Each structure stands twice: as C-alpha cells, then as structure tokens.
Structure 1
Amino acid sequence: MTDDRKAIVPVWTLATGDVQVPALAGDEPMTAERLAELRSVLAALADQPIATLEVHPLPDKLDRSRGIPLDAVSPLAQHLSQLITQSARTSSAAATATAVGEGLYRMVVPAKVAAQFGQGIVRPMASKGAAGDIYGALVNSTGRIVDQATFMPVGKAAAAGAVGGAGATAGVAVAGSAALTVAAPLVLMAVAVGVSANADSKRQQAIEHITELLEQLHEQKLEDEHSELDGCRDAIDKATAILLDQGKLGVSLGLDSAVHAINTALGAADRRLAQWRSALDKLPDGEAVEIGTLAKSFPGIDDHGGTFRTHLELAALAIALKRRVVVLQAVEHAQIDPGNLFENFARVLKADQQRLDTLESSISGVLKRLSALELARPQGLRPVFTTGEVDRLMRAANRIRKLGDGVMANSRTTDVAIEIARDKDGSVVVFPALPA
C-alpha cells in the first residue's frame, strides 16, 4: 500500500434497518478523525446498528491463510459485489476505487453495536513477531493510509438481497440520510465470518501451545482430552461452510457430537476453576508462599510446561471452539427469521457469550492473583541454599509473575474492524475481527 497523501478512500455508511438520522455526513470529503466521530454519533442516534465500509488497495503481501475464504457465489461475496456495482453508477470515487475489481474492504462496527456480541469475543491475538504486534491485514499500513487519506462518502447505493433467500432487501434509508445504505445481510455476514475467523485464530494458537506442552508431559488423559476437542474442528468447519452458503445443517455433520465434547470440556474448565479459586482462598493473606505448597494445587506452575498450564490452554481451546459454535447458532436463527436479521443474530450471540465471557474473565482473575503472589524460601534445616536452589526459586518467581502478562487489563468493548480481501473474480477472504 502506498503512502499517498492525496489518496481518496470511498466510505459507505451501512445500516441494518430502515432508520432516520440527521444528515451528518453529507457529500463532502472528510478526515479519518471526522469519520470516527461520525460513527460514534450515528451509533448513538440510530435505533438500528450502523457500520462503515472503506475500500483500500489490495496489499501485495497478504497472509490469506488466517482468514476464511468464500467463493464469488456466497451470500457475502454477492452482497458486496452488488453494493460495488450500484455504487459505481452514482459515485465517481467508488467507480474509480473499485474499477480494478480487487481491493481490501474494511468494515468498522461501533463499540455500542459490538457490545451486543459479548465483551470478550473480539480481542487482539498476539503475533509471533515483535512483542506487542497483533495480526491484521492492515497492520503497519492502515496507520499511514488512514491518517493521510481523504474519505469520500458514497450514498444512494443499495445492495439488494437477503440471507436465507427472502426478506431483508437492502435499500437506501429514508429522509435526511442520503448516504445511509440499508444492507443488513452484508453487515450480518461480515460480522459472522469475521467473528468466526477470530475464534478460529484463537483455536489455532491454543492448539500450538497444547501440542508443545503435551510433548513434555506425556500424560495420556490430557492427550485424550486434547484429541477429542481438536476432533470437533471438522464438524464446525463444515457447518460454517454450509451456513455461510445458505445451506441447512443436518445430523450427518456430527455437530451435535462436537457440541457435546465442547460442553464437556467447558464443564471440566469450570471445575478446575473452582479448585484453583479454593486453593488461592486458603492461602494466608499477605504472607509469602512456598513453591512446593503452590505446586500441590497448581502442578507444574514453576516449570516451563506443566499440567496447570495445559489445563489453561485446554480451557482456551474449548472457549474458542464454543465461540465458533455460538456464531453458527446465531446465523442459523437469523436465517430462520430473515425479517429481523441483525436483531436475532445479536440477541442469540450475546446470550450465549455471557457464560464464556464470565469463564474467561474468571480464569484471568486467577492468573492475576497468582502473578501477585510472593514466593517464600524453601523450609529446611540448612541455613544456606545451593546456587541451584536459588536459581530454581528465581526462575519459578519469574514464571509465576509472567502469568498475568497475557491477561487483558481492560475488557471494555471497542470498535470492531473486519477486513475483507476481494479478488477480481468476486471471491473474498474474511480476516479475523479485531479491535479497530
């Protein structure tokens, strides 16, 4: 992507229902700051969820393996193509930006709307590169482009069509909002695929960690637990593909068995969480704790791997898989009742996310408590400890303190960005949803 100070970026304002809001955008170009303000104001004033959609040049290097690919006849790809075609007829900026047929589309859903999906569903996923990096198609490029680009509102464009094949036809919102396009199916499908991709990214990360830990432990019971969870992926992937292509889920997919395995793993995580909390509650307040005492309730906590860390990763895997299943259920409900697509989707998603958010935040609370503990010197008859014993204590203290590093300090919902790479043949790849 180029560092062009005169870059013109078309931006659509997409509503998920026929709403009336003041004509805030108009037809004049705007800055990135003005666009962010507009999103916030529209989210506050409109009764229906409103998102913005930008189109940028497609980067030369793009890791498509992180996203979910959809062919040109999939609902999301068709809705996007229709929006592009309609917009090109009425907007020269949109026609110029979309003329090549390919591009990187960035949909931003305001925090007010994102809160309907659950507090913990969209979070940054740590990169294997430099510390602090996050995965994202526009990372290290968006900052330059957005800061220096001019955003041109695109109005009077309709993306006709609906999820499920009936109802929810898109169009232009009424009175006072000429640049507001009603495109519930497009927003719904983009959010659904982006959230699903985000959960799958977390699943992949958890799988990598578990595999590494189990190679050190050689514990058959944990191996079996891991295998059963990882075996759910095939059914979930097939169900995702079918639903995103407007198909119907059948018993032959094995999704029911997968859900049972995931729920069983979540039950195990709940039980382990209760044991961890109980063990921490029994520790004397304000006193240093011996590593041996801590290891009885948190086996292997002082090692690089250990059973406790494997239990943490198994819980993370179960949560990630469950989040994908919840998205599937939400999409299915929305397709059953296409008259109120987004409302059904948000309602189902939020209700089921609450348990997952609570479990995830409770595990984070345990890690914070552990990381704040002070380790005591081992009790013994000898007044002097060997160099090896001192080194072990220092390593253990450092590892335990780092348990709190990966905990999200602030779970406040932010704007959510979903990036969609579109190729010339109309096919798309949707990347994991990330905080905007």
Structure 2
Amino acid sequence: MIDYRKATVPVWALATGDVQVPAVVGDEPMTAERLGELRSVLAALAAEPIATLEVHPLPDTLDRSRGIPLDAVSPLAQHLSQLITQSARSSSVAAKATAAGENLYHMVVPAKVAAQFGQGIVRPMVAKGVACGIRGPLVNSTGSIAAHATFVPVGKAAAAGAAGGAGATAGVAAAGSVALTVAAPLVLMAVAVGVSAHVDQKRQQAIEHITELLEQLHEEKLDDEHSELDGCRDAIDKATAVLLDQGKLGASLGLDSAVHAINTALGKADRRLARWQSALDKVPDGEAVEIATLTKSFPGVDEPGGTFRAHLELAALAIALKQRVIVLQAVEHAQSDPGNLFENFARVLKRDHQRLTALESGIAGVLVRLSALELARPQSLRPVFTTGEVDRLMRATNRIHQLGDGAMVDSRATDVAIDIAREKDGSVIVFPALPAQT
C-alpha cells in the first residue's frame, strides 16, 4: 500500500455531455471526504453523468496481469494522453504530477451510470486473507483508497483535453455552469474496458472451479459443455481488441458462433434452474428432507464436488461470457453513433441483461433455499446409526448449509471505480471495474 497522506492529487471532473450545475467544485484543495461529498452533489444535480479522475504515482509493485493492456495508439490511451497534455499546459499541479509519464489514474463513475450497465454487473471481489478487503492496486488492509491525500481540482483549461479521435466530444460545459471537462469518449472507453476486465476475471474463476470439478466427475457431457464455452474466449478477446481500436467486427472473428454457444449454455442453465425450483417447491414447509431424496434433484449436493456444483459453475461461466458480449455490443453501437455515446451505450447494455439478472437471482434463491433445509435422518430398520453414517450426515448438513454463503447479492447501483495504469510510452492497462469505496 502506498502512503498518499502527504501527496497532492490532481482531480478532473469529467462530464459526458453539456451540463449546467451550481458552482460546487471551485478551485480550492479538498480532502478525500470532501471529494466524496462533491461526487454525491454532482450525481444528484447534473443532468448528464459526471465522473471524476484522479492521478496517483504508479505503485512499485503492480500485478499488470489482472488488467487489459491497450497500446498508445488505442482510442482510450489517446484520449487520456490528450487530457494530460492539455491539463499540463495550464495547471502546474497537473504538470508536476504527470511529468514522469507513468501514473495510476483512478476514475469513479457515478451510480446512475453504473445502474445503466445493469444491476449487479460490478460486484465486490473479496481478497483472500483480508477482512472486508477488495482487490485493487490502490487498496489498503481495510479495502479503501488512502483517505489523507489533498485533492486539487484541475480547472477550465483542461476542458479540451478529451478532444481527438473518432466520436470525441470535448469543450467547456454550458455557460454559467462550473468548469467541467467534457470527456464522453474517455469515460465510455474506460468503463467498457473496466467492465470487460471485471467479467473476464469472473470467467477465469469459473473455469478454474469447473476444471477441478470435472476432473473429479469424469462427466463427458459436462466436459463438452465446458469446452464449448471456453472455446468462445478467443473470439470474444479478438472482438474486444478490434472494437477498442475502433475497428469493425467481421464474420471471420467467429463472434456469431460464440454468441450462439453462450446462448445455448444460458438456455440449459434456465432449464436447470426451473427444475431446481420445481424440486424445492415440492418440499413441504417445515419438514426435514432425506439426503437421498435431495440428491435425486441435486446430484452431488452433499459432496465437495458433484454434478450440481458443476452445473452452477457452468452457469456462472455462461453469464460472465454473456456479460462480455453485452459490453462488446454496447461499444460497437456507441461507436457507430458517436454523437450519442452514453445514451446508446446504456440502451444496448440494458438489452439482455435483465435475463442475466433474473438467472443469477434465481440461482441465488435456490442456494439460499437449499441452505435453509433441515436434513432428516435416513430411514433404517436399525435403531442405531454407525459412526460413519453420523459423520456423513453431519458433513452433508454443513456443506448444504454453506451453499447460501455469499449467494445473496446486493444489486443496488453503486459508484464504480476503474484504475488505469499509464506507462511512459503512453500505453495503458485497465484494471477490473470495482464498486467504489466510500
């Protein structure tokens, strides 16, 4: 963790359109708490979403493998470079902070924009061994960004910083309003890459779990499902690279076939969910259930691995891949209509996401219901159980009760934080989007 208590941190207010808000920003240094309050005010009063962008020193140790790299000629890197160049001309604070050429940029996008991405698409990822910790390059043991830096607003002269590139819109906000950098393309591309990195991390986690489970199960049909889904990654990765370079998608990328495979997997997950819900509906309220009865509908639910758990991981993998596809579709449509970046982005992201939310919520509901079940003693002619039978019942009870841990997801919209590491050559690495710490 880097100690920023003595640091002076430049901060930009990035508007995604011409907005008019009361003069609440000012040009005086502020604390992190004051910056948080300012974000809340801007989110409530601004007609268009307003993000903030801070610049910090690049940490000495940074796991770059967690992010998505983009070269210096990519639109995101160019928008960021132009913002830095224009700001440095008129702000000594910004010039000093960015002089080394390599920094870590911390963008916070308001909750009203996060809600447009789809409820719950960005969720906390708990770091192992850290109580309440959130993974990220700028977090400390409590999971929050250092709160004692002095933040200095970068003023009007930076307003042209986001200009350039296809579809760029830049300039000072509407007359009579506070000075804001209009940087829709920069915010759009940062969000697109950050969300894509976030869901790809979920995909990697699902694949790790599935691989381990299938090695135990030796289920060829499930292994085929896994292989078909994992085979979609190459097409999605290539389509992501093309779109982030503002290219056009073509049939040669194979994205259409990948989407078909993902939709097929989601269809299987929907049908499995319906069967699970139906089985639980047949359980009389308040009555205990035998393990043998439960495993008929949820095979392997009482074991460390099992078919049921493999089905859960396959559903998680299909959802993560579909979320990446939704972001790709949004970027493609937004770039095809550069004059309407954010509205297009929100509209396309919203499509299909309701289905994913319903599927995730349904699965979470099944896990919670399973975890609340009382397991009955197996029927037997013998009046006494063996030690092995008792141990199996206790282990099964613990495993089933643990299914509900973490299943309840808070889907309320939260501010989204995206970290962008900029190297000296102008290339960038965008880290997975996370819920912003308050």
Note whether the superposition's TM-score is higher than 0.5: yes
The alignment status of 1:363 with 2:398, answered yes or no, reads no
Counterpart-to-counterpart distance in 2, 1:332 and 1:257? 18
After superposition, give the CA deviation of every residue in 1:126-172 in whole Å (9 maximum; x if it has no partner): 44444644321212179676311111111221224466x24x42112
Distance 2:412 2:144 in 1: 26
Q: For 2:398, what is the secondary structure of its paired residue?
A: helix
Q: Quick one: which amino acid aligns to residue 420 of structure 1?
A: I
In structure 2, relative to structure 1, the CA distance for the partners of 1:4 and 1:410 (3 Å cut) is closer
The question of whether the paired residues in 2 share the 8 Å contact of 1:162 and 1:338 is answered with no
Q: Which amino acid aligns with 2:401?
A: R
Q: Which of 158, 161, 165 matches 1:159?
A: 161
In structure 2, relative to structure 1, the CA distance for the partners of 1:54 and 1:35 (3 Å cut) is same
Match for residue 208 of structure 1? 208
SS at match of 1:159: helix
Q: How far 1:178 moved relative to its partner?
A: 4.1
Give the gaps of 5 or more residues in structure 2. none
The 5 Å alignment of 1:366-385 reads 366-385=366-385
The farther-off stretch of 84-93 and 306-315 is 84-93
- More deviation, 152-161/357-366: 152-161
Paired residues of 2:162 and 2:181 also in contact (CA < 8 A): no
Query: Is the 8 Å Cα contact of residues 125 and 202 (structure 1) preserved in structure 2?
Result: no
Cross-structure match for 1:286: 286
Structure 2 contact 11–152 (Cα < 8 Å) conserved: yes
Equivalence for 1:307? 307
Aligned position for 1:76 = 76
For the aligned residue pairs, the C-alpha RMSD in angstroms reads: 1.5
Contact 1:3/1:144, CA 8 A, preserved across alignment = no
Shift of 1:48: 1.0
* Cα pair 1:4 1:145 within 8 Å, conserved: no
Question: What pairs with 1:142-221 in structure 2 (closer than 5 Å)?
Answer: 146-156=146-156, 157=158, 158-161=160-163, 165-166=166-167, 168-221=168-221
CA distance in 1, matches of 2:2, 2:63: 18
Alignment of 1:215-230 (within 5 A): 215-230=215-230
C-alpha distance in 1 between matches for 2:321 and 2:405: 23
Kept after mapping to 1: 8 A contact 2:276/2:297: yes
Matches for 1:241-260 after TM superposition, within 5 Å: 241-260=241-260
- Residue-by-residue CA offset, 1:167-225 (whole Å, 9 max, x unaligned): x4211212244431100000000000000000100000000000000000000000000
Once residues 113 and 141 of structure 1 are traced to their aligned partners in structure 2, the CA distance between those partners, rounded to angstroms, is 28
Q: 1:55 to 1:294 in 2, by over 3 A?
A: same
The code of the aligned residue for 2:117 comes to F
Residue 20 of structure 2 aligns with which residue? 20
The 3-state SS of whatever aligns with 2:312 is helix
- Show structure 1 runs of 5+ residues with no match: none
- Corresponding letter in the other structure for 2:199: A
What does the per-residue CA deviation read over 1:63-86, in whole Å, with 9 as the maximum and x for residues that have no partner? 111110000000000000000111
User: Which amino acid is the alignment partner of residue 73 of structure 1?
Assistant: V
TM-score if structure 1 supplies the norm length?
0.97
Could you tell me how far 1:353 is from its partner in structure 2?
1.4
Aligned residues: 434
Counterpart-to-counterpart distance in 2, 1:174 and 1:131 = 45
Q: SS at the partner of 2:77?
A: helix
Q: Does 1:429 align with 2:429?
A: yes
- Counterparts of 1:174 and 1:142 in 2: how far apart (Å)? 40
**1:183 partner letter:** A
Q: Determine if the alignment matches structure 1 residue 350 to structure 2 residue 381.
A: no
Deviations 1:10-48 (A, max 9, x none): 110000001111110100111111111111111111111
* Residue 415 (str. 1) matches residue 396 (str. 2): no
SS in 1 for 2:215: helix
Counterpart amino acid of 2:284? Answer: P
- Residue 366 of structure 1 aligns with an amino acid whose one-letter code is V
1:327-359 deviation per Cα after TM superposition (whole angstroms, max 9, x unaligned): 000000001100011110011102221111111
Amino acid at match of 1:35: L
Q: Structure 2 vs 1, CA of residues 162 and 227 (structure 1 numbering), >3 Å: closer, same or farther?
A: farther
Partner amino acid, structure 2, of 1:293: T
Hey, what's the Cα distance between the residues in 2 that align with 1:312 and 1:143? 28
Report whether the alignment pairs 1:36 with 2:45: no
Measure the CA separation in 1 of the matches of 2:98 and 2:282: 63
Give the corresponding residue for 2:235: 235
With normalisation by structure 2, the TM-score equals: 0.96
* Residue matched to 1:61: 61
CA shift digits 1:42-66 (9 cap, x unpaired): 1111111110001111111111111
8 A contact 2:75–2:245 mirrored in 1: yes
Q: Distance in 1 between matches of 2:145 and 2:358?
A: 37
Distance 1:363 1:143, change over 3 A: closer
Tell me what 2:338 maps to: 338
SS for the counterpart of 1:11 is strand
Asked if the contact 2:32/2:147 (under 8 Å) is kept, the reply is yes
SS at match of 1:39: helix
Q: Aligned partners of 1:90 and 1:107: how far apart in 2?
A: 21
> Post-superposition, which runs of at least 4 consecutive aligned residues in structure 1 deviate over 6 A?
141-144
